[in-house]
Amino acid sequence: MAIPETFQHHETAEVVIIGGGVIGLTIARALALRGVSDVLLLDRSSLGAESSYAAGGMLAPRAEADCADEFFHLACKSRDLYPKFAADLLAETGTDVELDLTGALYLALTEQDEEEIEKRCAWQTRAGLPVEKLPPEEVLRLEPGITGTVRGALRFALDIQVENRRLLTALIAANAMLGVRLVSDTNVESVSIQKSCVTGVETSRGFVSTKCVVVSSGAWTSLLSSSGTNVPLPRVRIEPVRGQMICLAAQPPLVRHVIYSPRGYLVPRRDGRLLAGSTTEHAGFSKQVTAAGLHTILSHALEIAPQVGALTLVDSWAGLRPRAEDDLPVLGPSEIEGLVYATGHYRNGILLAPITGELIADAIVSNRISPLLSRFSPHRFDLVDVV
């Protein structure tokens, strides 16, 4: 759609979504599918161009979690929605998001790594989860391209991956077909609040009147302010955490599974690309790719598979993960009527997109607040004493 220089004097929307990454786009689609006819999504830059675009696309709660807490169960439920999510997007848009069901391997490469996989095996067994522990020879049978000094691995058959950039393409197309208004290059400067109720948003293109605002602005969430009264926004603090990635050309494919070690990971794509990541850096809003970051990633990739050294480096990039102060996503209605949060997904925006879309859309359309949201409420930060 054409992007207006300014909004009309009486611009209105039933729901305004701030942020056009995978979370905002999934929520917009879910709302439209539930019959919300006037959804306006605003993004400060280009749709899907930030952390969602920079991600690796792993859907691997079993490989990455340390315990069976509320977050783990939320992540598993979202991962299990992906086959239908992917099939529906294919039917709606014709775009295959390349959901790969091969599974993930978590390797032990050192004696300390063996202790790590024993810990992971133990807590998942206690949680009643099936655990598949593989000896070195079985790991090498499955993945002959990895290091011959591997000491063993855990196999997670249900931990899968999606091509996140194709997912974004499909979501943008699905929303456009459903009539969602998608407006890029538009900064939302403040949320207008009167008597503890949302009345609209002030943007770089003018004011939009609405009674419902979804904050899905990722790493930029904390830059949002309130206007209209002295009612502040909830104390939701999100910081950007830089993650660098590299892309290699691997034809024929070097590995089939998503491969983890305690220090890095490899993600094979269908077209012969091989992603390697990642870093965790507190560098503000800088998205620079650094020599130190590339060195770290390549060192960990070479440890997993020495043959990486012969591959061609074809691309590198960095994204800003949105991290809340307790590392958990911020999901659900706030104390301000009409203000809903869906942010702070940190490393798990792609993984949590389907469940976030479903839960937030249900909360808005049906006023049905799932018990799954209770641990992630924006209200939780107000319960912390500020010294």
Give yes or no: residues 184 and 332 share one domain: yes
Query: What's the pLDDT at 227?
Result: 93
Residue 133 predicted with pLDDT over 90: yes
Show the domain range for 365. Answer: 15-53+166-237+326-383
145 and 255 share one domain: yes
Q: Looking at the domain assignment, is residue 379 inside a domain?
A: yes
Kindly report the CATH number assigned to the domain that includes residue 268.
3.30.9.10
- HSE at residue 148, side-chain half, CA atoms within 13 A, is 1
Measure the CA dihedral 148/153/158/163, to 10°. -40
Residue 210 lies in a domain: yes
What integer pLDDT is reported at residue 5 of this predicted model?
A: 66
Locus of tokens 């775009």: 95
- Whole-Å CA distances, 13 to 1, 38, 202, 284, 349: 16, 6, 13, 33, 26
Instruction: Please indicate, yes or no, whether residues 310 and 172 belong to a single structural domain of this protein.
Output: no
Q: Please, what is the average pLDDT of the chain?
A: 95
Distance of CA 139 to the CA centre of its chain: 29
Q: Is residue 369 part of a domain?
A: yes
Read off the pLDDT of each residue in 264-287 and give the average, rounded to a whole number. 97
The answer to the question of residue 58 being in a domain is: no
Q: Do 248 and 316 reside in the same domain of the chain?
A: yes
Residue 45 lies in a domain: yes
Last residue of a domain, one of 305, 324, 343: 324
Query: Using an 8 Å Cβ cutoff, are 27 and 18 in contact?
Result: no
88 part of a folded domain: no
pTM of the full structure: 0.96
Co-location of 231 and 333 in the same domain: yes
Q: Are strands 258-260 and 15-18 parallel, antiparallel or unpaired?
A: unpaired
Q: Does 312 lie in the same domain as 176?
A: no
Here the CATH number for the domain that contains residue 201 is: 3.50.50.60
Among residues 283, 300, 324, which one ends one of the domains?
Answer: 324
Q: Based on the domain organization, do 246 and 153 belong to the same domain? A: yes
286 and 347 part of one domain = no
Say if residue 176 is in the same domain as residue 300.
no
Count how many domains the chain has: 2
Q: Report if residue 6 sits inside a domain.
A: no
List b or e across 303-334, with b for residues whose CB sees 16 or more CB atoms inside 10 angstroms. Answer: bbbebbeebeeeebebbbbbbbeeebbbbbbb
* Whether residue 316 sits in one domain with residue 253: yes
User: Is the predicted pLDDT of residue 59 greater than 50, yes or no?
Assistant: yes
Could you tell me if 195 and 212 lie in one domain?
A: yes
Residues 354 and 306 in one domain: no
- Structure confidence by residue, pLDDT tens digits, 302-350: 999 999 999 999 999 999 999 999 999 999 999 999 999 999 999 999 9
pLDDT tens, position by position, 342-360: 999 999 999 999 999 999 9
Mean pLDDT of the 148-157 span: 98
In three state form, how does the secondary structure of 196-263 look?
CEEEEEEECCEEEECCCEEECCHHHHHHCEEECCCCCCCCCCEEEEEEEEEEEECCCCCCCCEEECCC
DSSP string, 109-158: -SHHHHHHHHHHHHHHHHTT---EEE-HHHHHHH-TTS-TT--EEEEETT
Identify the pLDDT of residue 3. 62
Question: Is 72 contained in some domain?
Answer: no
CB-CB contact of 15 with 36 (8 Å): yes
- Please, which pLDDT band fits residue 386 given cuts at 50, 70 and 90? very low
| pLDDT tens, position by position, 212-250 | 999 999 999 999 999 987 888 999 999 999 999 999 999
For the chain, percent of residues with pLDDT exceeding 90 = 94
Task: Give 163-212 pLDDT, tens digit per residue.
Answer: 999 999 999 999 999 999 999 999 999 999 999 999 999 999 999 999 99
User: What's the CA gap between 383 and 243, in Å, rounded?
Assistant: 30
pLDDT at 387 over 80: no
Q: How far is CA 356 from the centre of its chain?
A: 10
Domain boundary among 285, 302, 324: 324
**pLDDT exceeds 80 at position 2:** no
